[in-house]
């Protein structure tokens, strides 16, 4: 697939071994004379020669030569801007599903794509191998000048690289380049999570706290062990809950400071979707969880993939998989429940909830009818090992079959602000599918709020306290 375009460069100039060999070439001259003419004078010279050699070698080892190029300058940041090219590196992953590749998830300025090279740090031989990259720009670009791309390089043989750098040239010195750990080198088959939810970016002053907690609790009720949240910014009332979810191990919070790298307000886009690097986030999340989670659920925080026939995702997915064994990608049709239309649900609300800003999803059971002639947006549950490249509503490259899950099995419950003016409220359909979960949702949201109460009142050692108190209450 990528083989034809590869060239391998051995960057000898940056090889510290080569440097050492070069230097020791002064030595055989001394030794040679010793072998042929053994005289006291030459013996002294020989000793002197050695002394001189060590004297010059010792201090310069540290001063001049990179002690070890592997690794040199490893970066952990979620976004790294490359020098000399408008390229932003998110993370790098080994992908040996077809060939031994390193796949770097990146954002590129696709009007100015330059050649890029992977500088592999070979852990076996401690040398640098430089391979020309194939830049695979994702086909969905949403009218923006920046887009997601995979920077793909064949891994050199006999190298077992653990670190890679990306550079616009095959020349230079490794010390100047940031190195990225190549993750997923061990393809585990025992998963630490059955379901992981990948939320696309939360940004700005998101103060819809109640809906955030309700969605998080619904994911847990439905079977998620982990929710990955890429956070650009959050509001003050959100902070304690993000921390509580991180402390209990549900939320994996990844800082996403994209606005410090790309100024989105200077672009016009036909779609809000790509804004804030949503598709790069989803691709990173897929690879991050490839060998950690059996399934990955891709949706936004105001959306829930809601089973209609089953009580949770596990039994739903088991039944879907039994009927469609070749399928790894399942689509769920979006059904829109506007924030502006309320049902009276006095029994479903508690006094505690009124203290929080935001929407109570149990009040929103009226949905906009989906129009047959329109392609309604979908979200997905995927087997991440069957995905090569994903977008927000579809998988761009993958393996195996895909399936549109019928709406009597599950829907994507999307509870959002009303933006479809054309549907008068009278045409809305009453659909209380979310109410099936009322009892478990109410009790788990209340649980969370009581943890927040303790967090507020015993802030300093809250981490340990919350755990202890929570276990007493259980």
Ligand X SMILES: *[C@@H]1O[C@H](CO)[C@@H](O)[C@H](O)[C@H]1NC(C)=O
Q: Nearest approach, Cβ of 149 to ligand X (angstroms)?
A: 23
Cβ nearer to ligand X, comparing 295 with 353: 353
Q: Say if CB 196 and CB 150 are below 8 A apart.
A: no
What x-and-dash track marks residues 264-293 binding ligand X by CB under 6 A? -xx---------------------------
Residue from 96, 188, 271, 315 binding ligand X (CB under 6 A)? 96
Closest distance of CB 449 from ligand X, Å: 19
Across the chain, which distance is largest between two alpha carbons, in Å? 111
Structure tokens at 356: 């929080």
168 touches ligand X (CB under 6 A): no
Interface with ligand X by CB under 6 A: which range of 258-266, 315-323, 377-385, 463-471?
258-266
In the shown chain, the binding pattern of residues 411 to 450 toward ligand X, with x for contact by CB under 6 A and - for none, equals: ------------------------xx-xx-----------
Q: Which is nearer to ligand X, 205 or 468 (CB)?
A: 205
Footprint (CB under 6 A) of ligand X, residues 63-82: 76
For ligand X (CB under 6 A), the number of binding residues is: 14
207 counts as binding ligand X under rule CB under 6 A: yes
For the bound state, the minimum distance from the C-beta of residue 76 to ligand X, rounded and expressed in Å, comes to 4
Minimal distance, residue 441 CB to ligand X, in Å: 9
Residues 6+ apart with CB under 8 A from 416: 302, 336, 337, 338, 339
Pick the closer one to ligand X by CB: 101 or 149: 101
Residue 1 as a binder of ligand X (CB under 6 A): the answer is no
**Of positions 34, 114, 235, 350, contacts ligand X by CB under 6 A:** 235
Residue (8 or 439) nearer to ligand X, CB: 439
Binding segment toward ligand X, per CB under 6 A, in 95-103, 131-139, 380-388, 443-451:
95-103
Residues that bind ligand X (CB under 6 A): 76, 96, 99-100, 205, 207, 235, 263, 265-266, 435-436, 438-439
């Amino acid at each position: 697939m990528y083989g034809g375009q590869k060239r391998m460069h051995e960057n000898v100039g940056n090889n510290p071994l080569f440097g050492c060999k070069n230097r020791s070439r002064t030595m055989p001259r001394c030794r040679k004379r010793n072998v042929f003419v053994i005289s006291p004078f030459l013996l002294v010279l020989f000793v002197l020669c050695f002394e001189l050699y060590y004297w010059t070698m010792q201090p310069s080892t540290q001063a001049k030569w990179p002690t070890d190029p592997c690794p040199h300058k490893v970066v952990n940041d979620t976004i790294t801007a490359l020098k000399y090219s408008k390229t932003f590196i998110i993370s790098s992953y080994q992908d040996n599903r077809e060939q031994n590749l390193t796949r770097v998830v990146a954002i590129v300025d696709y009007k100015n794509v330059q050649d890029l090279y992977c500088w592999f740090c070979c852990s076996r031989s401690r040398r640098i191998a430089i391979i020309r990259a194939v830049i695979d720009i994702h086909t969905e670009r949403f009218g923006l000048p920046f887009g997601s791309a995979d920077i793909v390089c064949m891994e050199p043989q006999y190298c077992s690289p653990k670190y890679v750098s990306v550079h616009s040239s095959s020349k230079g010195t490794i010390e100047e380049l940031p190195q990225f750990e190549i993750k997923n080198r061990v393809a585990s088959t025992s998963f630490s999570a059955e379901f992981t939810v990948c939320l696309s970016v939360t940004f700005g002053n998101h103060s819809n706290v109640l809906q955030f907690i309700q969605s998080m609790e619904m994911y847990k009720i439905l079977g998620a062990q982990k929710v990955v949240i890429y956070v650009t910014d959050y509001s003050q009332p959100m902070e304690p809950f993000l921390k509580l979810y991180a402390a209990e191990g549900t939320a994996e919070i990844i800082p996403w400071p994209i606005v410090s790298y790309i100024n989105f307000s200077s672009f016009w886009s036909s779609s809000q979707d790509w804004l804030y690097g949503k598709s790069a986030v989803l691709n990173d999340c897929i690879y991050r969880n490839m060998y950690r989670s059996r399934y990955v659920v891709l949706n936004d925080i105001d959306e829930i993939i809601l089973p209609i026939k089953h009580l949770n995702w596990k039994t739903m997915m088991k039944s879907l998989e039994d009927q469609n064994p070749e399928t790894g990608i399942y689509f769920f049709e979006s059904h829109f429940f506007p924030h502006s239309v309320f049902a009276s649900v006095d029994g479903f609300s508690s006094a505690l909830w009124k203290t929080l800003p935001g929407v109570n999803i149990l009040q929103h059971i009226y949905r906009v009818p989906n129009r047959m002639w329109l392609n309604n947006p979908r979200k997905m549950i995927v087997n991440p090992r069957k995905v090569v490249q994903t977008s927000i509503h579809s998988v761009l490259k993958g393996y195996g079959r895909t399936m549109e899950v019928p709406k009597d099995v599950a829907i994507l419950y999307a509870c959002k602000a009303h933006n479809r003016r054309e549907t008068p409220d009278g045409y809305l359909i009453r659909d209380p599918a979310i109410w099936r979960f009322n009892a478990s949702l109410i009790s788990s949201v209340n649980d969370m709020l009581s943890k927040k109460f303790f967090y507020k009142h015993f802030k300093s050692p809250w981490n340990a306290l919350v755990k202890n108190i929570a276990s007493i209450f259980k």
